[in-house]
Copies of this chain bind each other. A is one copy, B any other.
Protein backbone atom coordinates (compact mmCIF):
# COMPACT_ATOMS: atom_id res chain seq x y z
CA UNK A 1 0.00 0.00 0.00
CA UNK A 2 1.22 3.47 -0.90
CA UNK A 3 2.09 5.79 1.96
CA UNK A 4 -0.20 8.81 2.35
CA UNK A 5 2.71 11.09 1.54
CA UNK A 6 3.08 9.48 -1.86
CA UNK A 7 -0.58 9.77 -2.74
CA UNK A 8 -1.51 12.75 -4.85
CA UNK A 9 -4.78 14.65 -4.78
CA UNK A 10 -5.84 17.16 -7.36
CA UNK A 11 -8.28 20.00 -6.63
CA UNK A 12 -9.72 22.52 -9.10
CA UNK A 13 -11.87 25.61 -8.64
CA UNK A 14 -12.95 26.92 -12.02
CA UNK A 15 -14.85 30.17 -12.10
CA UNK A 16 -15.99 32.71 -14.62
CA UNK A 17 -12.76 34.69 -14.62
CA UNK A 18 -10.00 32.33 -13.40
CA UNK A 19 -9.23 28.74 -12.47
CA UNK A 20 -7.09 27.45 -9.61
CA UNK A 21 -5.55 23.99 -9.48
CA UNK A 22 -3.88 22.51 -6.43
CA UNK A 23 -1.82 19.34 -6.23
CA UNK A 24 -1.31 18.01 -2.70
CA UNK A 25 -0.43 14.87 -0.84
CA UNK A 26 -2.53 12.61 1.37
CA UNK A 27 -1.46 14.44 4.52
CA UNK A 28 -2.66 17.87 3.42
CA UNK A 29 0.58 19.35 2.08
CA UNK A 30 -0.14 21.51 -0.96
CA UNK A 31 2.75 20.90 -3.37
CA UNK A 32 1.69 23.06 -6.31
CA UNK A 33 -0.74 25.90 -6.93
CA UNK A 34 -1.37 26.79 -10.54
CA UNK A 35 -3.61 29.55 -11.84
CA UNK A 36 -5.25 29.62 -15.25
CA UNK A 37 -8.05 31.20 -17.23
CA UNK A 38 -11.80 30.65 -16.92
CA UNK A 39 -13.10 27.09 -17.27
CA UNK A 40 -16.78 28.08 -17.12
CA UNK A 41 -18.51 25.57 -19.38
CA UNK A 42 -21.30 28.04 -20.13
CA UNK A 43 -19.16 30.93 -21.26
CA UNK A 44 -16.23 29.30 -23.13
CA UNK A 45 -16.16 26.70 -25.92
CA UNK A 46 -15.40 23.17 -24.72
CA UNK A 47 -12.14 23.00 -26.72
CA UNK A 48 -10.84 26.03 -24.79
CA UNK A 49 -11.91 24.60 -21.43
CA UNK A 50 -10.40 21.20 -22.25
CA UNK A 51 -7.13 22.80 -23.34
CA UNK A 52 -6.93 24.94 -20.23
CA UNK A 53 -7.60 21.98 -17.92
CA UNK A 54 -4.93 19.88 -19.69
CA UNK A 55 -2.40 22.67 -19.35
CA UNK A 56 -3.17 23.14 -15.64
CA UNK A 57 -2.93 19.40 -14.89
CA UNK A 58 0.40 18.96 -16.70
CA UNK A 59 1.85 22.06 -15.11
CA UNK A 60 0.57 21.02 -11.68
CA UNK A 61 2.09 17.56 -11.96
CA UNK A 62 5.40 18.90 -13.18
CA UNK A 63 5.58 21.68 -10.62
CA UNK A 64 4.80 19.29 -7.74
CA UNK A 65 7.19 16.60 -9.02
CA UNK A 66 4.34 14.09 -9.36
CA UNK A 67 3.43 11.49 -11.95
CA UNK A 68 -0.06 11.14 -13.37
CA UNK A 69 -0.21 7.60 -11.93
CA UNK A 70 0.26 8.92 -8.38
CA UNK A 71 -3.02 10.84 -8.47
CA UNK A 72 -5.65 8.92 -6.51
CA UNK A 73 -8.47 11.45 -6.68
CA UNK A 74 -9.35 14.62 -8.53
CA UNK A 75 -12.26 16.90 -7.65
CA UNK A 76 -13.28 19.78 -9.88
CA UNK A 77 -15.68 22.54 -8.90
CA UNK A 78 -16.62 24.21 -12.16
CA UNK A 79 -18.98 27.10 -12.81
CA UNK A 80 -21.76 26.14 -15.20
CA UNK A 81 -21.34 22.37 -14.73
CA UNK A 82 -24.84 21.45 -13.65
CA UNK A 83 -25.74 19.16 -16.52
CA UNK A 84 -24.81 15.50 -16.39
CA UNK A 85 -23.48 15.57 -19.96
CA UNK A 86 -21.17 18.47 -19.09
CA UNK A 87 -19.83 16.57 -16.07
CA UNK A 88 -19.33 13.37 -18.07
CA UNK A 89 -17.37 15.24 -20.70
CA UNK A 90 -15.02 16.70 -18.09
CA UNK A 91 -14.61 13.33 -16.32
CA UNK A 92 -13.72 11.59 -19.61
CA UNK A 93 -11.19 14.30 -20.46
CA UNK A 94 -9.55 14.16 -17.02
CA UNK A 95 -9.50 10.33 -17.04
CA UNK A 96 -7.45 10.36 -20.20
CA UNK A 97 -4.77 12.29 -18.31
CA UNK A 98 -5.10 10.66 -14.87
CA UNK A 99 -5.66 6.93 -15.50
CA UNK A 100 -5.48 5.81 -11.82
CA UNK A 101 -7.64 8.58 -10.38
CA UNK A 102 -11.22 8.69 -9.17
CA UNK A 103 -12.58 11.87 -10.75
CA UNK A 104 -15.64 13.91 -9.89
CA UNK A 105 -17.07 17.18 -11.12
CA UNK A 106 -19.40 19.46 -9.16
CA UNK A 107 -20.94 22.86 -9.49
CA UNK A 108 -18.44 25.26 -7.90
CA UNK A 109 -20.96 26.14 -5.19
CA UNK A 110 -20.78 22.54 -3.90
CA UNK A 111 -17.01 22.67 -3.54
CA UNK A 112 -17.18 26.14 -1.95
CA UNK A 113 -19.64 24.63 0.55
CA UNK A 114 -17.15 21.88 1.40
CA UNK A 115 -14.45 24.53 1.92
CA UNK A 116 -16.44 25.96 4.79
CA UNK A 117 -18.26 22.93 6.22
CA UNK A 118 -15.83 20.06 5.46
CA UNK A 119 -18.72 17.92 4.30
CA UNK A 120 -20.68 18.28 7.55
CA UNK A 121 -24.20 19.72 7.75
CA UNK A 122 -24.15 23.36 6.79
CA UNK A 123 -24.78 26.03 4.22
CA UNK A 124 -22.75 28.38 2.08
CA UNK A 125 -23.99 31.69 0.69
CA UNK A 126 -21.88 32.91 -2.21
CA UNK A 127 -22.11 36.47 -3.45
CA UNK A 128 -19.39 37.29 -5.93
CA UNK A 129 -20.09 38.21 -9.52
CA UNK A 130 -23.11 35.90 -9.21
CA UNK A 131 -24.94 34.50 -6.18
CA UNK A 132 -26.24 31.18 -4.86
CA UNK A 133 -27.07 29.54 -1.54
CA UNK A 134 -26.18 25.89 -1.22
CA UNK A 135 -26.42 23.44 1.69
CA UNK A 136 -25.57 19.84 2.57
CA UNK A 137 -28.11 17.79 4.48
CA UNK A 138 -26.47 14.63 5.86
CA UNK A 139 -29.79 13.30 7.19
CA UNK A 140 -31.13 13.09 3.66
CA UNK A 141 -27.69 12.74 2.05
CA UNK A 142 -28.58 15.50 -0.37
CA UNK A 143 -27.62 18.98 -1.38
CA UNK A 144 -30.15 21.79 -1.26
CA UNK A 145 -29.87 25.04 -3.15
CA UNK A 146 -31.63 28.30 -3.93
CA UNK A 147 -30.60 30.89 -6.51
CA UNK A 148 -27.70 30.47 -8.91
CA UNK A 149 -29.88 31.11 -11.96
CA UNK A 150 -27.48 33.52 -13.63
CA UNK A 151 -27.55 37.22 -14.35
CA UNK A 152 -30.71 37.37 -16.49
CA UNK A 153 -33.18 35.84 -14.03
CA UNK A 154 -31.14 35.18 -10.89
CA UNK A 155 -27.92 36.28 -9.14
CA UNK A 156 -29.92 38.37 -6.69
CA UNK A 157 -27.79 40.29 -4.21
CA UNK A 158 -24.62 39.59 -6.23
CA UNK A 159 -21.94 41.99 -7.40
CA UNK A 160 -23.62 41.97 -10.79
CA UNK A 161 -27.00 42.80 -9.25
CA UNK A 162 -25.49 45.65 -7.22
CA UNK A 163 -23.66 47.04 -10.24
CA UNK A 164 -26.70 46.78 -12.53
CA UNK A 165 -28.84 48.56 -9.92
CA UNK A 166 -26.23 51.32 -9.73
CA UNK A 167 -26.30 51.73 -13.51
CA UNK A 168 -30.11 51.87 -13.45
CA UNK A 169 -29.99 54.58 -10.78
CA UNK A 170 -27.54 56.61 -12.88
CA UNK A 171 -29.52 56.47 -16.13
CA UNK A 172 -32.85 57.04 -14.38
CA UNK A 173 -31.46 60.19 -12.81
CA UNK A 174 -30.04 61.21 -16.19
CA UNK A 175 -33.44 60.69 -17.90
CA UNK A 176 -35.21 62.61 -15.14
CA UNK A 177 -37.02 59.47 -13.99
CA UNK A 178 -35.50 59.53 -10.51
CA UNK A 179 -33.69 61.85 -8.13
CA UNK A 180 -30.00 62.60 -8.54
CA UNK A 181 -27.52 60.32 -6.81
CA UNK A 182 -23.83 60.40 -5.94
CA UNK A 183 -23.65 57.08 -7.81
CA UNK A 184 -23.46 59.03 -11.06
CA UNK A 185 -20.02 60.51 -10.31
CA UNK A 186 -18.78 57.32 -8.67
CA UNK A 187 -19.84 55.01 -11.49
CA UNK A 188 -18.51 57.31 -14.22
CA UNK A 189 -15.20 57.71 -12.37
CA UNK A 190 -14.86 53.95 -11.89
CA UNK A 191 -15.42 53.35 -15.61
CA UNK A 192 -13.30 56.37 -16.60
CA UNK A 193 -16.15 58.02 -18.48
CA UNK A 194 -17.24 61.65 -18.57
CA UNK A 195 -21.00 61.30 -19.19
CA UNK A 196 -23.81 58.75 -18.85
CA UNK A 197 -24.30 58.48 -22.64
CA UNK A 198 -20.98 56.64 -22.77
CA UNK A 199 -22.25 53.87 -20.49
CA UNK A 200 -23.91 51.91 -23.29
CA UNK A 201 -20.68 51.34 -25.19
CA UNK A 202 -18.59 50.90 -22.02
CA UNK A 203 -20.83 48.14 -20.67
CA UNK A 204 -22.20 46.28 -23.69
CA UNK A 205 -18.90 46.22 -25.57
CA UNK A 206 -16.85 45.15 -22.54
CA UNK A 207 -15.17 41.78 -23.18
CA UNK A 208 -16.28 40.54 -19.73
CA UNK A 209 -19.55 42.40 -19.33
CA UNK A 210 -20.69 40.66 -16.14
CA UNK A 211 -17.39 41.26 -14.36
CA UNK A 212 -17.43 44.89 -15.53
CA UNK A 213 -20.90 45.43 -14.05
CA UNK A 214 -19.92 43.65 -10.82
CA UNK A 215 -16.85 45.90 -10.53
CA UNK A 216 -19.28 48.73 -9.71
CA UNK A 217 -20.37 47.11 -6.41
CA UNK A 218 -17.79 49.02 -4.34
CA UNK A 219 -19.20 52.29 -5.73
CA UNK A 220 -22.57 51.28 -4.26
CA UNK A 221 -20.99 50.45 -0.88
CA UNK A 222 -19.22 53.81 -0.86
CA UNK A 223 -22.39 55.72 -1.76
CA UNK A 224 -24.35 53.86 0.92
CA UNK A 225 -21.70 54.58 3.54
CA UNK A 226 -21.86 58.26 2.66
CA UNK A 227 -25.62 58.26 3.10
CA UNK A 228 -26.76 58.38 -0.53
CA UNK A 229 -30.43 57.33 -0.51
CA UNK A 230 -30.28 55.25 -3.65
CA UNK A 231 -27.00 53.59 -2.67
CA UNK A 232 -28.55 52.62 0.67
CA UNK A 233 -31.70 51.31 -0.98
CA UNK A 234 -29.65 49.14 -3.36
CA UNK A 235 -27.64 47.64 -0.49
CA UNK A 236 -30.79 47.03 1.53
CA UNK A 237 -32.48 45.25 -1.37
CA UNK A 238 -29.41 43.07 -2.07
CA UNK A 239 -29.20 42.08 1.59
CA UNK A 240 -32.92 41.24 1.60
CA UNK A 241 -32.56 39.07 -1.52
CA UNK A 242 -29.61 37.17 -0.05
CA UNK A 243 -31.50 36.56 3.20
CA UNK A 244 -34.37 35.20 1.11
CA UNK A 245 -32.01 32.75 -0.61
CA UNK A 246 -30.77 31.53 2.77
CA UNK A 247 -34.30 31.12 4.16
CA UNK A 248 -35.40 29.19 1.06
CA UNK A 249 -32.40 26.83 1.15
CA UNK A 250 -32.75 26.34 4.92
CA UNK A 251 -36.43 25.41 4.53
CA UNK A 252 -35.39 22.56 2.24
CA UNK A 253 -33.40 20.71 4.89
CA UNK A 254 -35.05 17.64 6.38
CA UNK A 255 -36.96 18.38 9.62
CA UNK A 256 -34.24 16.86 11.87
CA UNK A 257 -31.83 19.68 11.01
CA UNK A 258 -29.78 21.02 13.87
CA UNK A 259 -27.82 24.20 14.41
CA UNK A 260 -25.39 24.55 11.52
CA UNK A 261 -22.80 26.89 10.02
CA UNK A 262 -23.67 29.44 7.34
CA UNK A 263 -20.47 30.18 5.47
CA UNK A 264 -20.27 33.45 3.54
CA UNK A 265 -18.07 33.56 0.47
CA UNK A 266 -17.39 35.97 -2.38
CA UNK A 267 -16.27 39.54 -2.89
CA UNK A 268 -19.53 41.22 -1.86
CA UNK A 269 -18.98 40.16 1.76
CA UNK A 270 -15.60 41.89 1.81
CA UNK A 271 -17.55 45.10 2.48
CA UNK A 272 -17.85 45.39 6.24
CA UNK A 273 -21.07 47.42 6.15
CA UNK A 274 -22.74 44.95 3.80
CA UNK A 275 -21.63 42.01 5.94
CA UNK A 276 -22.97 43.70 9.06
CA UNK A 277 -26.33 44.60 7.47
CA UNK A 278 -26.73 41.02 6.32
CA UNK A 279 -25.73 39.40 9.62
CA UNK A 280 -27.96 41.73 11.64
CA UNK A 281 -31.16 41.05 9.71
CA UNK A 282 -33.81 39.65 11.99
CA UNK A 283 -34.82 36.92 9.54
CA UNK A 284 -31.20 35.71 9.44
CA UNK A 285 -30.73 35.98 13.20
CA UNK A 286 -33.90 34.00 13.80
CA UNK A 287 -32.42 30.94 12.08
CA UNK A 288 -30.13 28.58 14.08
CA UNK A 289 -27.08 29.42 12.00
CA UNK A 290 -23.49 30.16 12.97
CA UNK A 291 -22.41 32.79 10.49
CA UNK A 292 -18.78 32.84 9.45
CA UNK A 293 -16.85 34.25 6.56
CA UNK A 294 -14.93 31.72 4.48
CA UNK A 295 -11.25 32.20 5.29
CA UNK A 296 -9.76 29.87 2.70
CA UNK A 297 -10.07 29.94 -1.10
CA UNK A 298 -12.93 27.78 -2.43
CA UNK A 299 -10.45 25.38 -4.08
CA UNK A 300 -9.82 24.11 -0.54
CA UNK A 301 -13.27 22.49 -0.67
CA UNK A 302 -12.33 20.56 -3.81
CA UNK A 303 -9.24 19.40 -1.94
CA UNK A 304 -11.21 18.24 1.11
CA UNK A 305 -13.54 16.30 -1.15
CA UNK A 306 -10.58 14.74 -2.98
CA UNK A 307 -9.16 13.56 0.35
CA UNK A 308 -12.39 11.69 1.09
CA UNK A 309 -12.67 10.49 -2.48
CA UNK A 310 -9.22 8.88 -2.13
CA UNK A 311 -10.56 6.90 0.83
CA UNK A 312 -8.64 8.97 3.37
CA UNK A 313 -10.00 10.56 6.51
CA UNK A 314 -10.22 14.36 6.58
CA UNK A 315 -8.66 15.00 9.98
CA UNK A 316 -8.73 18.25 11.91
CA UNK A 317 -4.93 18.23 11.70
CA UNK A 318 -5.16 18.14 7.95
CA UNK A 319 -7.72 20.99 7.90
CA UNK A 320 -5.51 23.09 10.18
CA UNK A 321 -2.46 22.40 8.02
CA UNK A 322 -4.26 23.49 4.88
CA UNK A 323 -5.71 26.60 6.55
CA UNK A 324 -2.26 27.52 7.82
CA UNK A 325 -0.77 27.19 4.35
CA UNK A 326 -3.43 29.55 3.02
CA UNK A 327 -2.85 32.04 5.79
CA UNK A 328 0.91 32.05 5.21
CA UNK A 329 0.42 32.75 1.55
CA UNK A 330 -2.17 35.49 2.07
CA UNK A 331 -4.95 33.61 0.32
CA UNK A 332 -7.48 33.97 3.08
CA UNK A 333 -8.96 37.18 1.80
CA UNK A 334 -11.91 37.40 -0.47
CA UNK A 335 -11.62 38.20 -4.09
CA UNK A 336 -12.42 41.86 -4.47
CA UNK A 337 -13.94 43.72 -7.37
CA UNK A 338 -11.06 45.97 -8.25
Contacts and interface: CB of A to CB of B under 8 A. Distances in A.
Contacts of A145: 175
A211 to B, nearest CB: 13
A176 B42 contact: no
A244 B170 CA distance: 15
Question: Interface size for chain A: under 10, 10 to 19, 20 to 34, or 35 or more residues?
Answer: 35 or more
A82 interface: yes
Contact of A83 (B82, B176, B201, B247): B201
A57 interface: no
Most buried by B among A149, A164, A251: A149
B200 A82 contact: yes
A213 interface: yes
A152 interface: yes
- Give chain A's interface secondary structure class: helix
Nearest to A167: B153
Most buried by B among A175, A177, A251: A175
Contacts of A154: 168, 171
Interface of A: 42, 82-83, 145-147, 149-150, 152-154, 164, 167-168, 170-171, 175-177, 197, 199-201, 203-205, 209, 213, 244-245, 247-249, 251-252
